[in-house]
């Protein structure tokens, strides 16, 4: 049996999946609803983990202590850091990094945690590339940046872009989830949909366009189970 966790930050990002497949709650993890969908040889757990690095990793750790999976796929929304991306486009991470880590006083690069590389590499990236190309034609691959701030300011956005290579989008959980998943030796993948441009209109755009991104993840479930 191929066991996969589909994890988002917010319940709103998985509601369309839950409603489409008429999923029932099977458990509560960190006071958050856990759902399950099974078909053929695949069992998929679906869970919102909470917003931010700490909340999401706590929920993921509690889940992994109770359930066994061989893949984690983090889905959700993000702000664009690439002017070529449009609302609704999907981004697959080949690398992830923290944009809010600064221990440069000790000789580390901006964004680098002591004892870690600046960029966390996504292992076995071809697996998720083969999936994403069947979900949507409008997708790209690159670095996804994580930090505990919702970026809605053009000046902050440009300052962050200068510090990282090939950065595509910015959000609040992905790098922490990859770091946690790798500690458990589980392949962890990031698929993020663009809901805003991380500028002055970000809050309004996020609320308006989040559902466009969420609808695409229904196709992800169908592909995983075929």
Beta strands in the chain (DSSP E): 2-8, 25-29, 32-39, 42-48, 71-74, 77-80, 90-98, 120-121, 139-146, 167-171, 187-196
| Residues of the chain above pLDDT 70, percent | 93
Query: In which residue are the tokens 């992994």 written?
Result: 64
The contacts found for 125-133 with CB under 8 angstroms, 24 or more apart, are 125/92, 125/94, 125/189, 127/71, 127/187, 127/189, 128/73, 128/92, 128/189, 128/191, 129/92, 131/220, 131/223, 131/224, 132/90, 132/92, 132/191
Task: Tell which CATH architecture fits domain 2-224.
Answer: 3-Layer(aba) Sandwich (3.40)
Task: DSSP letter for 138, please.
Answer: S
Q: Read off the pLDDT of residues 97-150 as tens digits, 9 standing for 90 and up.
A: 999 999 999 999 999 999 999 999 999 999 999 999 888 778 999 999 999 988
How far is the first Cα of the chain from the last one, in angstroms, to the nearest whole number?
13
Handedness of CA 94, 54, 206, 28 (dihedral sign): positive
Query: In which residue are the tokens 């809901």 written?
Result: 195
Residue 37, SS3?
A: strand
- What is the reported pTM? 0.93
Select which of 89, 173, 196, 205 is catalytic: 196
Select which of 13, 89, 94, 152 is catalytic: 13
Predicted pLDDT at 199? 58
Mean pLDDT, rounded, for 178-191: 98
Could you tell me where the DSSP H helices lie in 71-224?
A: 125-132, 154-161, 174-183, 202-224
Tell me if residue 196 is catalytic.
Answer: yes
Tell me if residue 173 is catalytic.
Answer: no
List the chain domain ranges: 2-224
């Amino acid at each position: 049996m191929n066991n996969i966790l589909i994890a988002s930050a917010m319940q709103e990002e998985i509601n369309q999946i839950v409603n489409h497949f008429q999923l029932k709650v099977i458990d509560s993890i960190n006071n958050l609803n856990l759902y399950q969908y099974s078909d053929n040889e695949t069992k998929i757990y679906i869970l919102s983990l909470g917003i931010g690095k700490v909340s999401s990793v706590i929920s993921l750790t509690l889940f992994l202590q109770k359930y066994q999976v061989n893949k984690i796929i983090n889905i959700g929304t993000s702000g664009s850091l690439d002017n070529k991306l449009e609302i609704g486009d999907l981004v697959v991470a080949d690398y992830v990094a923290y944009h809010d880590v600064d221990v440069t006083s000790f000789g580390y690069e901006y964004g680098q945690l002591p004892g870690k590389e600046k960029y966390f590499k996504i292992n076995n990236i071809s697996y998720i590339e083969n999936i994403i190309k069947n979900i949507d034609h409008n997708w790209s691959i690159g670095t996804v940046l994580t930090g505990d701030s919702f970026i809605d300011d053009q000046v902050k956005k440009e300052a962050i872009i200068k510090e990282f290579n090939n950065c595509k989008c910015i959000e609040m959980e992905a790098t922490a989830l990859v770091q946690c998943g790798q500690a458990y030796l589980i392949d962890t993948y990031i698929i993020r949909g663009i809901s805003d441009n991380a500028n002055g209109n970000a809050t309004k755009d996020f609320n308006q366009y989040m559902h466009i991104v969420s609808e695409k993840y229904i196709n992800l479930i169908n592909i995983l189970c075929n």
